[in-house]
Copies of this chain bind each other. A is one copy, B any other.
C-alpha cells in the first residue's frame, strides 16, 4: 500500500449507488415485507428478523443498477426480480446457519437460535418459493431460467464445501470452484437477470454477467480474508466464524502451504472440529498474517475486481455504470 493513501471513504461508493436508486430500493423493501406476509405468524416474524437485520442489499442493488445501466424503462418487473434475488439470498443464509451451526448472523443471534432449526429450514423454503412467484411477475422465462440454474449451482457449491471439510491441502482451483458456485453464481445471476429484465442486447447481458461473476469471486475472497481480520490489526467481532466452523478457505490454504512442518501440524489439528481449542484462533490469525496469506488473498480479489471493471467496457456511459465501477472498488477497499 502507498505511504499516503488518498482514499475515499470505502462506504462512499456504496451509499452513492443506494442514493442513485433510492426510489427503487424503497419499492424493493416494500416487496420484501409484503411478500414475506403469511397468516402463519412465525414466517413474517422470522423472515422480518433476518431481512431487517440489514445486510447491505448488495445483490438486489446490483440487479437494479444492471437494469438501469441497460436503460430499463419499466422498473416494476425489475423490482420484483430484485426482491426475488434478496429472498433467494435470505433463504440460503437461513439454511447455511443450520448447516454451519453458526450462532451469530450479522452480529445478532442466528434465526435458528431464536426459532429453532426446523423453522429456519421451512421459512427458507417459503422464501425460496416466494422468490419464484416474484420472478413469474417479470413475465420473462429467461429470468427464471437464470435464477433456477444459479440456485442449483449454489446448493451444489455448498454440498461441495461440505464434502471437502477437513481437506487441508485443497487445491486453490477447487477452492475457487466452490466460491464460484456458492457466492459468485448469485452475483452473476443478479446482474445478468437485471440486464435481461431490461431487454438489453446480448453484448450488454454478457458484460453484466461477467461483471457479476468476477465481483462475486472478489467479494467472497475478501470475506474469507476478513474472517481472519484481513491485514489490519483491528479485529472485528465477526472474526473467526470460518475458523470455528473449520472451513477450508484460501487464506488457510496459502498459510498452510507456506508454513513449516510445525505450522502444518497446527492447521491440521486446529481445523479438526474435535481438536480445536479456544486458544487456536489468535495463532491462526498470526500465521495468516505472517505468511502473507491475507495480503495475497486480497491481491487475488483485486485481480477479479479489475476483470469485473473491464467487463463493463461495452456498457454506455451512465451514472449507473460509474456506480457499478465504484462498487467494485468498494468490495475490496472495505478490507483495508
Known contacts A98-B121, A121-B98, A152-B126; is-contact A132 B144 (Cβ 8 Å): yes
How far in angstroms is the closest Cβ of chain B from A317? 34
How far in angstroms is the closest Cβ of chain B from A165? 10
Across-interface contacts of A158 in B (CB, < 8 A): 122, 125
Q: Interface size of A by Cβ–Cβ distance < 8 Å? A: 42
Asked if B144 contacts A136 (CB within 8 A), the reply is yes
Asked if A136 contacts B129 (CB within 8 A), the reply is no
Asked if A156 contacts B119 (CB within 8 A), the reply is no
Asked if B141 contacts A129 (CB within 8 A), the reply is no
Q: Does A33 contact B (CB under 8 A)?
A: no
Q: Does A160 contact B (CB under 8 A)?
A: yes
Q: Mark A127-153, 1 if CB is under 8 A from B, else 0.
A: 011101101100101001100110110
Number of this chain's copies in the assembly equals: 2
Asked if A152 contacts B133 (CB within 8 A), the reply is yes
Across-interface contacts of A144 in B (CB, < 8 A): 132, 135-136, 141, 144
Across-interface contacts of A117 in B (CB, < 8 A): 98-99
Across-interface contacts of A149 in B (CB, < 8 A): 129, 133
Q: Does A238 contact B (CB under 8 A)?
A: no
Known contacts A136-B144, A159-B43, A163-B42; is-contact A151 B122 (Cβ 8 Å): no
Q: Does A118 contact B (CB under 8 A)?
A: yes
Q: Mark A155-199, 1 if CB is under 8 A from B, else 0.
A: 110111011000000000000000000000000000000000000
Across-interface contacts of A209 in B (CB, < 8 A): none
Contact of A125 among B41, B130, B132, B155 (CB under 8 A): B155
How far in angstroms is the closest Cβ of chain B from A268? 22
Q: Does A95 contact B (CB under 8 A)?
A: yes
Asked if A119 contacts B159 (CB within 8 A), the reply is yes
Q: Does A40 contact B (CB under 8 A)?
A: yes
Across-interface contacts of A152 in B (CB, < 8 A): 126, 129-130, 133
How far in angstroms is the closest Cβ of chain B from A3? 46
Asked if A125 contacts B151 (CB within 8 A), the reply is yes
Asked if A139 contacts B141 (CB within 8 A), the reply is yes
CA distance A121 to B124 in the complex (A): 10
Known contacts A40-B163, A98-B117, A160-B40; is-contact A151 B129 (Cβ 8 Å): yes
Q: Does A123 contact B (CB under 8 A)?
A: yes
Known contacts A98-B117, A118-B99, A121-B121; is-contact A132 B156 (Cβ 8 Å): no
CA distance A3 to B130 in the complex (A): 51
Asked if B133 contacts A121 (CB within 8 A), the reply is no
CA distance A132 to B84 in the complex (A): 14
Contact of A148 among B39, B119, B132, B155 (CB under 8 A): B132
21 contacts between A and B (CB under 8 A): A40-B159, A40-B160, A42-B159, A42-B162, A95-B122, A98-B121, A119-B162, A121-B121, A122-B159, A123-B155, A123-B159, A125-B128, A125-B154, A125-B158, A126-B159, A128-B151, A132-B144, A132-B148, A133-B148, A136-B148, A141-B141
